[in-house]
Amino acid sequence: MTKIIGHRGAMGYRPENTVSSFLKAIRIGAHGIEFDVHLTRDNIPVVIHDERVDRTTDKIGEVKDYTFGQIRKLDAGTWFSRDFFNERIPSLNDVLSLDVAGDFIFNIELKAGSYYYPGIENIVLKQIYDCHLENNVIISSFDHGALLEVKRLSPTIKTGALFCARLYEPWEYLKSLKCDFYHPDYRTIDKEIIKNAKMHNLPINTYTVNNENTMTDLIQADVNMIITNYPDLGIRILNY
Ligand code: G3P
Ligand code: MG
């Protein structure tokens, strides 16, 4: 059965990548959550999408220039609605400590922007093992070098390679990365590629699907996971 994963929590309803967004996805009954991780100046993994804080907080600047103590003071909710003025940028540890079902999926996206955070793979892996969540996580990234490093450090941790463009025979490339999952933009896949990926034992976790008809088609095509801003929509379709 296709699993429904809340994108940045339930970002259609709550300020993205905040505890309140993750709790909303959990309450809806999502099978897991996807969220984005950067490192602060003092190497604490924090959950925010952009490499700058400008769009989703009340301050400006790059995540990497803030210490954890400093970034923690920012208001990460009011940009979305005044009702969420208390929201903070969560640490990775805050999110991994949420109370969830035993098979809940944490899809941790290591952010790959204009620069790379040295050592991010090791720091994130350590937190995963400290929380005993090694069987619940998928580490994904557009930075495929980081995914290879994750596998080198910890071969049993599941990884998923993100792509925005169409790929030729993705199973060949993903094999070379020792990657467990293919994470394409849903607009770059079709029935044929889904069928072929299945033949090559390559599960597809596709993003970011918010349209009901598209979601229905992808569920019928039996993709492994759908990452969506509206997890309630996916759960409703599954329960039809
Ligand atoms: O992991 C799926 C999706 O989150 C990738 O794109 O920019 O929303 O992090 P983005
Ligand atoms: Mg993401």
pLDDT band, residue 147 (cuts 50/70/90): very high
| Ligand 1 geometric centre to CA of 48 (Å) | 11
Which CATH topology does 3-239 take? TIM Barrel (3.20.20)
Report CA(34)–ligand 2 centroid distance (Å).
6
pLDDT at 223: 98
pLDDT given for residue 151 in this prediction: 98
Give me the residue spans of the domains in the chain: 3-239
* Digit-coded pLDDT (tens) for 149-191: 999 999 999 999 999 999 999 999 999 999 999 999 999 999 9
DSSP-derived secondary structure for 173-199: HHHHTT-SEEEEBGGG--HHHHHHHHH
Q: Could you identify the atom of ligand 1 that is nearest to the CA of residue 7?
A: 4
> Given this model, what pLDDT does residue 109 score?
98
CA distance 77 to 53: 12
- Residue 217, pLDDT score: 98
Residue of 3, 4, 7 with the most ligand 1 atoms within 8 Å of its CB, for mutation: 7
Token pair listed for 128: 């995963």
Could you identify the atom of ligand 1 that is nearest to the CA of residue 142? Answer: 5
Residues 39-61 have a mean pLDDT of 98
Buried b (16+ CB within 10 A) or exposed e, 104-133: bbbbbbbbbbeeebeebbebbbebbeebeb
Reading the block at residue 209, the tokens are: 């699907």
Judge whether residue 90 has pLDDT over 90: yes
Scanning the structure block, which residue is given the tokens 């979305």? 80
Question: Best mutation site among 11, 34, 147 for ligand 1, i.e. most ligand atoms within 8 A of its Cβ?
Answer: 34
Catalytic residues: 7, 49
What are the pLDDT digits (tens) for 70-83?
Answer: 999 999 999 999 99
Residue 113's pLDDT is 78
The pTM (predicted TM-score) of the whole model is 0.98
Q: What is the mean pLDDT of residues 5-29?
A: 98
Kindly tell me the burial class for residue 171, based on how many C-beta atoms sit within 10 Å of its own C-beta (0-12, 13-18, 19 or more).
middle
Per residue in 94-118, pLDDT (tens digit) is: 999 999 999 999 999 999 878 899 9
Please state, in angstroms and rounded to a whole number, the distance separating the CA atoms of residues 17 and 52: 14
Reading the block at residue 190, the tokens are 């079709």
- What mean pLDDT is reported for the chain? 97
Checking if the pLDDT of 93 tops 90, the result is: yes
Please tell me the distance from the alpha carbon of residue 190 to that of residue 130, in angstroms, as a whole number: 39
pLDDT in tens, 197-231: 999 999 999 999 999 999 999 999 999 999 999 99
Residue 112: its pLDDT value, please?
82
- Ligand 1: centre distance to CA 111 (Å): 9
Structure tokens at 239: 């329960």
> Partners of 158 in the beta sheet?
138
**CA separation for the pair 206, 3 (Å, rounded):** 11
Query: Ligand 1 in contact with 66 (CB < 6 A)?
Result: no
Give the residue, out of 33, 49, 111, 143, with the most ligand 1 atoms within 8 A of its beta carbon, to mutate for a pocket test. Answer: 49
* pLDDT reported for residue 115: 81
Å from CA of 163 to ligand 1 middle: 10
What are the two backbone dihedrals, phi and then psi, of residue 163, each rounded to the nearest 5 degrees? -140, 145
pLDDT of residue 153: 98
